[in-house]
């Protein structure tokens, strides 16, 4: 597994905006990177630990709102707001995860209970009008600020967002890869393959499930803050079931391994609808067909075509 660690594959991506001047293509890539963070962090919970969490979109959306609200009401910068949001999401995840894992909810039951919590979060945001503006959502006018050689500058324009999103994605992949290739990752795999056996072998199943859930949701929170401020708009749809399912689709489409695999899923699902100018109906059709064909034709995802079948541990 360590034989192929293609860190250098990231380098050409830094040169892309210098060569490519097509605004649409760059926008697609920015979306791919941010949604890639979402898919990669989801893959930690689902692909590696085997828990089908439906809470990922909720973590994503709660963080988007929390970042904006702490900026608007506490007067902090984007980065501090994002840290507050990540902490909040992790705290909520501790509660949700503890409930689910203490009661040993598995497979479908885990999915349903996390979905229930996710829906409750969405309903609260939808109906807490004074803070969240209900179903209309909020336009975000603030921009993240960065210290660059020229001083403190707001991140705006596709090119700056491209680099910010790319760095954020690399950071996420790096953290996830470190987790997966550590003793934690081996515990995750043991739990995925047979959690009763893992328990017998002395692995604290509850602890590692919770760690995986927390790290994954923290990644989703990171993505949520970036996504909302890139779009300059946040609405309750961030937390919808459709969003949860789209995340599952990206992860499956990309493939579980390597860690960066789900990014390909994010690329195909965001890029394909943009590249060809479909009408709304055809877009939904293509999306559905991609999902079906992935499962029936490419059960190990796109990366499954490239990489050879390896041992899971």
Partner 1 sequence: MLQLVVGQLLNGIIIGTLYGIVALGVTLTFGITGIVNFALGAFMAIGAYVGWYLTDGLGITYPLAVPLAVAVTALIGLLADQSLFRFTRNNLINGLIVSIGLISVVQSVILMIWTTTPKNMHYVLPGVLNLDWFIVPKMKGVVFLVLLAVILSTYAALTRTWAGRAAYAFAQAPEAAMLMGVRTRLLQTGVVVYSTALAGLGGALYASLYSLEVSMGSSYILKGVEAAILAGIGSVMGSLVGGIVLGVTEAIGSLFLPQAYRDAYGLVFLVLILLLRPAGLFGGGR
State the burial class of residue 146 (Cβ atoms within 10 Å of its Cβ: 0-12, 13-18, 19+): middle
Is 196 an interacting residue with respect to partner 1 (CB under 8 A)?
no
Using DSSP, state whether 153 is helix, strand or coil. Answer: strand
As a whole number of angstroms, the distance between CA 118 and CA 26 comes to 32
Q: Which stretch binds partner 1 (CB under 8 A): 12-20, 37-45, 205-213, 244-252?
A: 244-252
What's the CA gap between 245 and 241, in Å, rounded? Answer: 6
Binding segment toward partner 1, per CB under 8 A, in 37-45, 109-117, 165-173, 210-218: 109-117
Q: Would you say 83 or 271 has its CB closer to partner 1?
A: 271
* Helix, coil or strand: residue 151: strand
- Among residues 1, 107, 171, 204, which is the contact residue for partner 1, using CB under 8 A? 107
Cβ–Cβ < 8 Å for 203, 62? no
Contact by Cβ (8 Å): 91, 148: no
Rg over alpha carbons for the chain, rounded to the nearest Å, is 19
How many residues interact with partner 1 (rule CB under 8 A)? 37
CB under 8 A: which stretch of 62-70, 83-91, 105-113, 224-232 binds partner 1?
105-113
Considering only 1, 24, 292, 306, the residue that binds partner 1 (CB under 8 A) is 292
Should residue 95 be labelled a site residue for partner 1 when binding is judged by CB under 8 A?
no
Q: How many CB atoms lie within 10 A of CB 298?
A: 15
- 312 interacts with partner 1 by CB under 8 A: no
Can you tell me the distance from the alpha carbon of 86 to that of 65, in angstroms, rounded to the nearest whole number? 11
Q: Which range of residues in 4-12, 25-33, 107-115, 260-268 is near partner 1 by CB under 8 A? A: 107-115
Binding site residues, partner 1, CB under 8 A: 52, 99, 103, 105, 107-109, 112-113, 116-117, 119-120, 123, 126-127, 241, 245, 248-249, 252, 280-285, 287-292, 294-296, 299
């Amino acid at each position: 597994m360590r034989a192929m660690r293609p860190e250098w594959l990231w380098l050409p991506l830094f040169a892309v905006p210098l060569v490519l001047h097509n605004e649409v293509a760059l926008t697609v890539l920015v979306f791919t990177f941010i949604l890639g963070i979402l898919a990669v962090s989801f893959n930690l919970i689902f692909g590696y630990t085997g828990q089908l969490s439906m809470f990922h979109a909720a973590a994503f959306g709660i963080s988007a709102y929390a970042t904006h609200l702490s900026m608007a009401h506490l007067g902090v910068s984007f980065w501090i707001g994002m840290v507050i949001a990540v902490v909040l999401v992790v705290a909520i995840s501790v509660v949700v995860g503890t409930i689910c894992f203490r009661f040993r909810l598995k497979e479908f039951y885990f999915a349903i209970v996390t979905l229930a919590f996710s829906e409750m979060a969405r309903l609260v945001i939808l109906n807490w009008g004074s803070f969240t503006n209900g179903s209309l959502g909020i336009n975000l006018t603030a921009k993240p600020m960065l210290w660059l050689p020229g001083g403190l500058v707001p991140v705006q324009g596709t090119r700056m967002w491209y680099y910010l999103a790319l760095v954020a994605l690399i950071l996420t992949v790096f953290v996830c890869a470190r987790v997966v290739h550590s003793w934690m990752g081996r515990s995750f795999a043991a739990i995925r393959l047979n959690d009763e056996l893992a328990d017998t072998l002395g692995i604290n199943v509850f602890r590692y499930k919770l760690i995986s859930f927390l790290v994954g949701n923290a990644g989703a929170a990171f993505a949520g803050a970036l996504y909302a401020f890139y779009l300059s708009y946040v609405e309750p749809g961030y937390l919808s079931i459709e969003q949860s399912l789209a995340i599952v689709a990206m992860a499956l489409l990309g493939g579980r391994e390597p860690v960066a695999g789900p990014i390909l899923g994010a690329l195909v699902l965001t890029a394909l609808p943009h590249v060809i100018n479909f009408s709304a109906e055809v877009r939904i059709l293509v999306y559905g067909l991609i999902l079906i064909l992935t499962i029936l034709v490419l059960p190990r995802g796109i990366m499954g075509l490239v990489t050879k079948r390896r041992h899971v541990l």
